[in-house]
Structure 1
Amino acid sequence: MDGDACPVRDEVFRVASRHGLAVTVVSNGSRGVRLPDWVRRVIVAEGADAADDWIAEAVRPNDVCVTADIPLASRCLAAGGLAIAPGGKVWDTDNIGGALAGREVSRHLRETGQETRHAAFGAQNRSRFLEALELVVRTAMRGSPPPPRPLPDFFSD
């Protein structure tokens, strides 16, 4: 788990405990977050992408990475891992390219002085995350990629 500013730590711990899974929280150590005894803590050096680099190098096929960082999610997918955002978005090879492009557009807008904002994180996000995490964990335990989510059919009655 990308531990810097992750709003769903407790949910990850609960699901991992229920399934008997190991959890590693990676951060730069700037936040004194209390973790359960069974959770592995990795503290990396200060630096913009130090935690992301550690995670990307350590992730293995069917490992689950919880991160809001889209480039890190992309690196995890490239390594055969699974990636899920705190809001419940499951990243896959079909949607990560568009997300990376959107991130670059937002970065450009900010550079030109325009504001870009993220919606507040609330109970609905937490619920979506728990549901998606269960699906991703079960998929990882089976050792196969997550099934594609069905698209809504806007043309049927």
Structure 2
Amino acid sequence: MYKFSVWVDADSFPAKARSFLVSYASSKSVRVYFVANHEIKDPLQQAEMILCQKEANAADNYIFEHAGENDIVVTRDIPFAARLVEKKIEVMNDRGLVFSKDNIEDKLREREFSLNLAGIGFGGDKGNYYGQKELDKFSRTFEQKLQEHIMNETYNIKRR
């Protein structure tokens, strides 16, 4: 079992991605924690479910407090991702986008712009669709990041 873990902000994490993530991480002996403020349907045996209070940002705050610098966090929440990037934690979303200090400000601006458009009646729910294309990109990126973390821990390489 490796020292690092994978943390999932599970409140809106797609079931298709959940199955892949747990299967792949378990095959590599990596701990996975799903954190949410409600029970996840079809919990997976190889992952630990952590239930938080039903209040705003409870799952985010739990992950933020418990995730370490060598861990991986998966979340759709861009402001939360920004907090994690600031803490130097590897963070990605369920579509394979890795958030970094180089792109997080742009992602926060895009989010704000989209919220403003939605507020005046423009925009839709196109971001909620999760199909095979999204799963494939997430799978490739997650495999790559998990392998990087395994190599870093195995050979005692410090993340930049």
Which residue does the alignment assign to 1:135? Answer: 144
Is the 8 Å Cα contact of residues 3 and 26 (structure 1) preserved in structure 2? Answer: yes
Between the aligned partners of 2:79 and 2:66, the Cα distance in structure 1 is 15
Q: Does 1:5 align with 2:12?
A: yes
Alignment-mate amino acid for residue 45 of structure 1 = Q
Q: Aligned ranges for residues 43-62 of structure 1 at < 5 Å?
A: 43-62=51-70
Q: Deviations over 1:133-157 (max 9, x none)?
A: 01111222315448xxxxxxxxxxx
Between the aligned partners of 2:148 and 2:116, the Cα distance in structure 1 is 36
Q: Alpha-carbon deviation of 1:116?
A: 3.6
Q: Aligned ranges for residues 117-132 of structure 1 at < 5 Å?
A: 117-119=125-127, 120-132=129-141
- Secondary structure at 1:4 match in 2: helix
Which residue does the alignment assign to 2:5? Answer: none
Q: How many equivalent residue pairs? A: 145
Which residue does the alignment assign to 2:95? Answer: 87
Between the aligned partners of 2:73 and 2:107, the Cα distance in structure 1 is 16
Query: Runs ≥4 in structure 1, deviation > 6 angstroms?
Result: none
Higher relative contact order (CA 8 A, sep 6+): 2
Which residue does the alignment assign to 1:15? Answer: 24
Q: Alpha-carbon deviation of 1:23?
A: 0.5
Between the aligned partners of 1:144 and 1:127, the Cα distance in structure 2 is 28
User: Which structure features the higher share of helix residues?
Assistant: 2
Is the 8 Å Cα contact of residues 3 and 27 (structure 1) preserved in structure 2? Answer: yes
Q: Normalising by the residue count of structure 1, what TM-score does the alignment of the two structures yield?
A: 0.84
Runs (5+) with no aligned partner, structure 1: 147-157
Q: Alpha-carbon deviation of 1:114?
A: 2.3
- CA RMSD in angstroms comes to 1.7
Q: Alpha-carbon deviation of 1:61?
A: 0.5
Q: Deviations over 1:110-142 (max 9, x none)?
A: 222323433421111111111100111122231
Question: Which of 24, 28, 34 matches 2:42?
Answer: 34
Q: Percent of aligned pairs with the same residue?
A: 26
Q: Alpha-carbon deviation of 1:37?
A: 2.8
- Secondary structure at 1:124 match in 2: helix
Is the 8 Å Cα contact of residues 59 and 79 (structure 1) preserved in structure 2? Answer: no
User: Which structure features the higher share of strand residues?
Assistant: 2
